[in-house]
Amino acid sequence: MLTDSRTERETTTRPRGGWPTAIALSLILVGLAGTSLLVPEPQSLIGDEHYYYHNGQGILSGNPSAIGEHDVNLRNIMPLGALYPLTSRLIRDGFGAPRLAGFSPSANAIFYAKSCTIVLFLGLALLVYVFARELYGAAAGVLAMTLTVFDPNLLAHSRVVHQDMMGAFFITAAVYCFWRFLSRPAWPTGAWSIATFAAAQIARFTSLFLAPVFLLLVVGRFGPGLIRSLRRFGLTAVVGPLRRFAGWGIAYVLVSLTVINLGYSSDRTGTRLADLDLHSQALAGVQAHAGPFRTLPIPLPLSYVRGLDLVRLKQETGFGSGPSYLLGKIGETDGKRHGFVTYFLVAFLFKVPLASQILLVAAVVDLLRRRGWHGFWRDEAFLLVPSSVYFVVFSLSTCQLGLRYILMVFPLLWVFAGRVVQRWTERSKGFRLAVVALVAYLVVSNLSYFPHYIPYFNELLTDRRMAYTILADSNLNWGQSGFYLTRYIEEHPEAMLAPSWRVLRRHPEVRLPWDPLWDPTRPIPGIVIIGASDLVGVTDDPERYRWLRETLSPRDHVAYSYLVFEIRPEDIPKSLTRPHDP
């Protein structure tokens, strides 16, 4: 970009792979097919899937601003979400896929749209292999791909119609192409970098953070050299590189603006800043203090600006969802929502496989031992700086609903972890056996939860029924276990369900097929099934179940998402005993 850095590349010859690599990759893909893609998984549709599928249809209509015109909650619209209805139509109409028994027409369409996410996950696994292989060699590529394929958090979202996997894929692709561009400056690599950066902007709003991240990476990589040139040769020595930097920066901006406008069909592009209905403190503050610029048209589609405003509002206030929850505490004080700075640190510690964490720590140790700062900014910074930025940004957010919010950091981290096996044939036998043992441990831990990957916790949680004491919401129950709940109640007709009473109060038209429904404010003895998020107060009033949380522990679980309690008459507080009860 500023200088040709090919001469800076490591002189170590990286293995090109061969039949052993091909066999290893084939086995990994077989594992992926077994854990996620081909084995039927009776997972009920997540509530958000209807929302994102509908938004994709709005993009195809050419009038996306009509969605969310009167409801701020519906404004998280991304153009690449159109891939979901397009994929579903192709499978149903192009290939004549049958109507699935027990599915409504809309659920049937969403089910086939999941194929798009599956393809994205396959592409992500291959991208991780290529990235790690180019950095550290074939063995590193195989290890990084293994960590990706058997990552329960990535697997959990490999069949969900949502922006999480799409964002992870395009952010990883943008980082990879940017690394290639700075390593091999040329028009082809620059074009690929600009294209993937622009594509990421229409995949997930948080891709916007790539702009400051890329700027930081450029400064870290080329800044010291420019300063030395400035001191030695004066201003004329840096004018040329700075012009090239500015030219490429302008290209990134212009292409991204063009792609964003094309993605939204330029729907209401040019709306004046003064005419926008903004709700976030950040964007509304810009609008209020813009002065004469308030009357200028914005070169962005209305839906994009509204979506950005909604995402920022969520980060500021947790708008549109339940409060954060961590280690038994609700992120709400005196009616005001707040997050937890340690939320994602704790979530990472408990929900990422221990084997993967050990390999990641080993990679950090290896980096500190073998490479200085110059080498860091050449390669590893492209993995660790984006991951750190996203980790910190979401740790400071009010909206903390699950580890999925930082799903984009995992591919980059597993590429980095691959460095522990570079120069694989030169490693000691004991080291290689330890790595193989860790990979085997990873696979066993993964399969122990199959097919329930959303509520996965590693072995630091010794009793899987107690996961709700650490995390809840989409870390445990995102609505994916409805089929298992139905089956459990059919097999245990004596069981009573405690529904989300907050949902029932908001939607009185909803009629659940189970009777009786159990009310924690007027409890009766028996076997009771309670959703984990309801129990801790994320999706219901925390006080409703306080007496139950503080006095009893679940005796069983349903797909790790619902908890089964056995309540005896003596367990019920006297203050809640019905008048006619003894």
- The reported pLDDT for the residue numbered 375 is 81
Residues 34, 26: contact at Cβ < 8 Å?
Answer: no
Q: How does pLDDT run across 115-134, given as a tens digit for each residue?
A: 999 989 989 999 999 999 99
Give the model's confidence band at 34: pLDDT under 50 very low, under 70 low, under 90 confident, else very high. Answer: low
Q: How many other CB atoms are found less than 10 A from the CB of residue 364?
A: 15
The whole-number average pLDDT for the span 269-297 is 94
* Of 473 and 581, the one with more pLDDT: 473
Mapped onto helix, strand or coil, the DSSP state of residue 457 is coil
Enter the pTM of the model: 0.93
Instruction: Give the pLDDT confidence score for residue 359 in this predicted structure.
Output: 98
Taking residues 93-99, what's their average pLDDT? 86
Task: Map residue 52 onto helix, strand or coil.
Answer: helix
Residues in Cβ contact with 265 at an 8 Å cutoff, skipping those fewer than 6 apart:
59, 62, 63, 64, 301
| Residue 581: pLDDT over 50 | no
pLDDT of 287 higher than 90 = yes
- Give the model's pLDDT for residue 97: 85
pLDDT band at residue 86 using 50, 70 and 90 as cut-offs: very high
Q: Tokens 């209401």 sit at which residue?
A: 268
C-beta separation of 530 from 496 below 8 A = no
Question: What is the arithmetic mean of pLDDT over 137-146?
Answer: 93
Token pair 């030695």: residue: 232
Q: Is the pLDDT of residue 399 over 70?
A: yes
Q: Per-residue pLDDT for 242 more than 90?
A: yes
pLDDT, position 548: 94
User: Of 116, 161, 80, which is closest to residue 480 (Cα–Cα)?
Assistant: 161
pLDDT of 489 strictly over 50: yes
User: pLDDT band for position 266 (50/70/90)?
Assistant: very high
Using CA atoms, how far residue 121 sits from 27, 114, 172, 196, 453, in Å, is 16, 11, 12, 16, 15
Report d(CA 134, CA 425) in Å as an integer: 17
Within its chain, how far is the Cα of 146 from the centroid? Answer: 19
Lowest-pLDDT range of 302-306, 428-432, 513-517, 552-556:
513-517
E strand or H helix at 336, and its extent?
strand 336-337
- What single letter denotes the amino acid at residue 486? T
Residue 390: its pLDDT value, please?
Answer: 98
Average pLDDT over residues 293-318: 95
Q: What is the pLDDT of residues 3-25, one digit of tens each?
A: 444 434 443 445 455 656 666 66
Among candidates 1, 72, 45, which has minimal Cα distance to 241? 1
